[in-house]
Each structure stands twice: as structure tokens, then as C-alpha cells.
Amino acid sequence: MAFTQAPLPFDFNALEPYGMKAETFEYHYGKHHKTYVDNLNKLVEGKDLADKSLEEVIKISFKDPSLTGVFNNAAQVWNHTFFWNSLKPAGGGTPSGDLAAKINKDFGSFDKFKEEFSNAAATQFGSGWAWLIDDNGTLKVTKTPNAENPLAHGQKALLTLDVWEHAYYIDFRNARPGFIKNFLDKLVNWDFVAENLAKA
């Protein structure tokens, strides 16, 4: 059974009032993300891996140096779907309820979380991802290079930001810090983060 690309959870132009053009999604969803799905399907065709879940493929291939290509594409399929869900029109601002309390407890304050997340996203050298994760019950900020993700490390992802240059070049050119600030101010889907936190 082939892996499929999950639909984008909003229209291509839905984030235009919030700093991200339709053109970004035409390329990032329509070309980059789609290519990872197509490459993954080619790499696992006719193999046992083709019948496993995407999450299983990520965990298995991360531990096997002969499956680096499979890992890179499988993880990028998963990471991008997770990233689209981390965004919403008129998002950003502050979380509420249990999630807000947990952030305050584990980071000291929401501003401290924002500072740590911004710093991780800005200092990931080259391509990669910034994450908010649940690591055995404690919220932490991490960053990963290239396709690597919390799943591969046995951690639960709650929120991500793609900091590959293709993620921000159309809207922010080379200015990654502007992209990070815009994400936190206007785009974070805190409902998605709260749902992930509540999952077993």
C-alpha cells in the first residue's frame, strides 16, 4: 500500500493575511512535500516496509544505516504533515488551560518558552526543525538537523517549525528571525499542541 500525502488543513491562500503567501504552499506543499512522498514510495516499493505505518518506517529506518534514504524521506513526509497542522489562520498568541499551566511549570513562563523556541529555531545551522516536545512528562524545546525528528528519538512531538530555507524564502527571503517571530505571533495552532499533549 502506497503512502499518501495528507491534505493541507487549510486553503493555499488562507495564511496570506498572516504573512505566508499561497505561492509558499504551492511550492512547499505541492512540490517539496509531494516529492518526499513520491520518493518514499519508490524506495519501499515491493519491500516489507511498504506495509508498515509511516511511524514504524521512521523508527525502523532511523536505526539502520542502510536505510538512510528511506528515513530521510519518511521523516520528511511526517514532519511536513505535522508542520501544516502546527499552523492556522489567526493563530499564535498564548495557549490556555492545562497546556498554558504546563508551559509555565516547565519553562518558568510563556515568554521564556518563546525565547527558547526562537533561539532553537534561529540557531539550527543549515536545514532542520525546531520542536516543542513532551520528553517523559517534561516539556522541552529541541532542534534537529535535516529530517531528524522527536519520533526517531522516542519523544512525543507537540509543535514544530520547519527552518529549512525553502520554508521561508518566498515570504521572508533570507530573514529566518522574521519568519520565526511571525510564526509565534500569528500562526501557531495551540489547539493542535493541546491535543498532542493530551494524547497518551
Q: Which is nearer to Mn ion, 148 or 162 (by Cβ)?
A: 162
**Least CB distance to Mn ion at residue 28 (A):** 6
Q: Which is nearer to Mn ion, 134 or 162 (CB)?
A: 162
What order do you get walking across the sheet with 138-145 strand by strand? 138-145, 128-135, 156-162
Residues in region 62-121 near Mn ion by CB under 5 A: none
Identify the bridge partners of residue 156 per DSSP, sorted by sequence position. 134
**Residue 18 host element (H or E):** none
Q: Please report whether residue 183 would count as binding Mn ion according to CB under 5 A.
A: no
Q: Count the Cβ atoms, other than its own, within 10 Å of residue 18.
A: 17
Nearest approach, Cβ of residue 114 and Mn ion (Å): 22
What is the closest distance, in whole angstroms, from the C-beta atom of residue 166 to Mn ion in the complex? 5
- Supply the minimum distance, in Å, between the C-beta of residue 77 and Mn ion: 11
**Furthest CA-CA distance within the chain:** 50
User: Among residues 103 and 160, whose Cβ is nearest to Mn ion?
Assistant: 160
Residue number with the shortest CB distance to Mn ion? 162
Residue whose CB is less far from Mn ion, 164 or 192: 164
Nearer to Mn ion, 100 or 122 (CB): 122
Please, which residue, 82 or 113, has the CB nearer to Mn ion? Answer: 82
Least distance from Mn ion to the Cβ atom of residue 167, Å: 5
Long-range contacts for 30-33 (Cβ within 8 Å, ≥24 apart)? 32/80, 32/166, 33/5, 33/76, 33/77, 33/80, 33/81
Which residues lie below 8 Å from residue 87, measured CB to CB, with a gap of 6+?
10, 15, 20, 183, 187, 188, 189
| Site size for Mn ion (CB under 5 A) | 3
Q: Which one, of 84, 101, 94, lies nearest residue 159 by Cα? A: 84
Residue type, 107: F
Rounded distance between C-alpha atoms, residue 61 and residue 59, angstroms: 6
Binding track, positions 146-175, relative to Mn ion; x by CB under 5 A = ----------------x-x--x--------
Give me the residues that bind Mn ion (CB under 5 A), please: 162, 164, 167
